[in-house]
Amino acid sequence: MSVSALALALVQPAQLRAQEFFDHVCPSFWWTGMKWSRLQILFHAQHDLQHAEVSTSYPGVRILQVHHVENPHYVFVDLQIEPNAKPGEVPLHFRLDEQHSFVYAYHLYPRHRGDGKTRAMGINSGDFIYLLMPDRFANGDTTNDRVAGMLDQSLYRDSLTARHGGDLQGVIDHLDYLKNLGITAIWMTPVLENNEAHASYHGYAFTDHYRVDPRLGSNALYRELVTTAHQKGIKIIQDIVLNHVGEQHWFVRDLPMHDWLHQWPHYTNTTYRESPLFDPYAAASDQKQMSDGWFTPFMPDLNQRNPYLANYLIQNAIWWVEYAGVDAFRIDTYIYCDLDFMNRFNAALLREFPRLHLFGETWVHGVLPQAYFVRNKLHIPYHANLPGVCDFQWCFAVQHAFTEKNGWTSGVVEPYLTLAQDFVYEDPMKNVIFLDNHDMSRIYSIVGQDIRKFESAFTLLLTSRGIPQMYYGDEILMKGVSAPDGLVRKDFPGGWPDDAVNKFTETGRTDTENMAFHFIQNLAQFRQQSEALRYGKLMQYLPEANVYVYFRYTSSETVMIAVNGNADPVSVSTDRFAARLHGYHHAYDVLHHQTIEDISQFQLAPYGSLVWQLKP
């Protein structure tokens, strides 16, 4: 007799407490009126469920199938929730054997019936995203810095890999700061439980898909953050990981079935090389290692070709949107997932929430490789349906513009050449553009702590096509080179009660830091009222003498942008831009808050930039 069977034998039928019998029920509840109406519920217990029979008698709900799998601790139950089903407790009758049976009350809630303007709103080119790491941003609740029973009990702010104590309450406390900066959307690195023994702060090693990490807060607090942010006009982007989990995930510790993970005879790492996925001459073994190899030895690789796991991941994502009302998903390690599954995932989410935005992490090199993974105009066998990507090609181009010598394909011509290839995308405005992130060196360090280059880089970020995203602390010139990553993930000064300085306030910042803050704030706030910068068309001119000029325009507004990639000042005649300047004679200088009476020429300081709102 197995241990679980023996334990069950010792329990009298009357002692079976249904709601406590299972260790995990996923999803723990659902809603009526959902398009995803065929629901597959995972039940997990430390008892033998191999012969469990399940039935129900609830109007509008039918059990379609009960699946018994390799591990007897699991049973999967398929429910059909009809349009006429009412909210309430659905009695699921479990019969384990002749002596043991009970009723599990599965709750159906009414679906949120909003107008789509207050939750699950999506993000678009009119937004400005702020990326932050909750553990490193602000500590709003010191009582959850350590949580009893969790494996990582570290709390050492001088350590690059230990937990520092930042949390969701810290984000809530600083929503007004972000709104004042001009931010309209927040992307937090993952907030779900990471009950790992080491380096659990970053969030990318899930150990429970349905639970916010208690050191960050709770599910209820996360929903409160979303609601409060929405009230302030700020959207929330959830960072989701579909490729892997943490090695301490409860379903890794007790696998439902062998092929729940990608299994190899011996440990096999991914190659991190995406080219075999689209290479017409690729070896099948290279394709398999790229997709099925593990990202790290400590992050078990999920096999999305397993239909039970595929349902689990799709339902979990739908659950978080309906539960919390998040507006978008940034999908981590997108290119390492099974791409056919990703198409099904994207389709299911957008069918349920048409306004939701999805953008994937596609850290590749080259516009064509990047376009392969997103909706594109390429006539190729794989038809991606991902709406947008993290536009690494734009990021690399702008970084190079201020770090490489001027040449035929280098200098400020590189951003120009990158955007010139936008013909491959179905809608490049849905791509998220950025200068740095939590895995890269900070932009202020990349440009050699040159405030002129820093400001021009942000000029490009806030005026180019796409959805701009900045990394927390860039507005106060935080520095760091990603060797290791912890050096770019330092605490925001002022986010902890005992911090010596508070850079969330103007008085806590240096003059140079305030210069950077106000530069970004000024341009971000102007962008909020500029239709041209948010939604307008783009016309760019081939850079000459390492000066890049382009226009964003609508039928009622035109904004001219120029960036000097030279260490010397330049003077440029605007005759060449007559097609876009026609009908305009003056300009409002956005960066210096002054009127320009003569637009026949302009001057730029070394590595300087200008933003002109043209006037008749």
- Across 68-76, average pLDDT: 98
Across 305-377, the runs of DSSP E, i.e. the strands, are 328-332, 357-360
pLDDT at 1 over 50: no
Return the higher-pLDDT residue of 514 and 483.
514
Could you list the beta-strand ranges (E) of 177-260.
185-188, 192-193, 208-212, 235-241
Which three-class secondary structure state does DSSP give residue 357? strand
- Cα–Cα distances (Å) from 7 to 2, 73, 528, in that order, read 9, 13, 62
| pLDDT at residue 20 in the model | 86
Contacts of 463 (CB under 8 A, 6+ apart): 523, 527, 533, 552, 559, 561, 611
Q: What is the chain's mean pLDDT, rounded?
A: 96
Provide the token pair at 528: 């909020």
Query: pLDDT tens digits, residue range 40-49?
Result: 999 999 999 9
Q: What residues act catalytically?
A: 332, 361
Domains in the chain (CATH in brackets) are 3-110 (2.60.40.10), 129-532 (3.20.20.80), 534-615 (2.60.40.1180)
- The Cα 497–Cα 504 span in angstroms is 12
| pLDDT given for residue 3 in this prediction | 39
pLDDT at 115: 57
Integer Cα distance of 339 and 22 in angstroms: 33
More confident residue, 67 or 19: 67
As a whole number, mean pLDDT of residues 419-440 equals 98
**pLDDT of res. 116:** 58
Per-residue pLDDT reduced to its tens digit, 569-614: 999 999 999 999 999 999 999 999 999 999 999 999 999 999 999 9
pLDDT tens figures, 273-315: 999 999 999 999 999 999 999 999 999 999 999 999 999 999 9
CA 399 from chain centre, in angstroms, equals 22
pLDDT confidence tier of residue 64, bands split at 50, 70 and 90: very high
Both tokens assigned to 13:
């039928």
10 pLDDT higher than 60: no
Q: What is the pLDDT of residue 118?
A: 82
- Taking every pair of Cα atoms in the chain, the longest distance, rounded to a whole number of angstroms, is 92
CA 327 to chain centre: 11
CA gap 326, 222 in Å, rounded: 10
Q: What is the pLDDT of residues 120-172, one digit of tens each?
A: 999 999 999 999 999 999 999 999 999 999 999 999 999 999 999 999 999 99
User: 51: how many CB neighbours lie within 10 A of its CB?
Assistant: 11
Closest among 29, 208, 11 to 96, alpha carbons compared: 11
Q: What is the pLDDT of residues 525-573, one digit of tens each?
A: 999 999 999 999 999 999 999 999 999 999 999 999 999 999 999 999 9
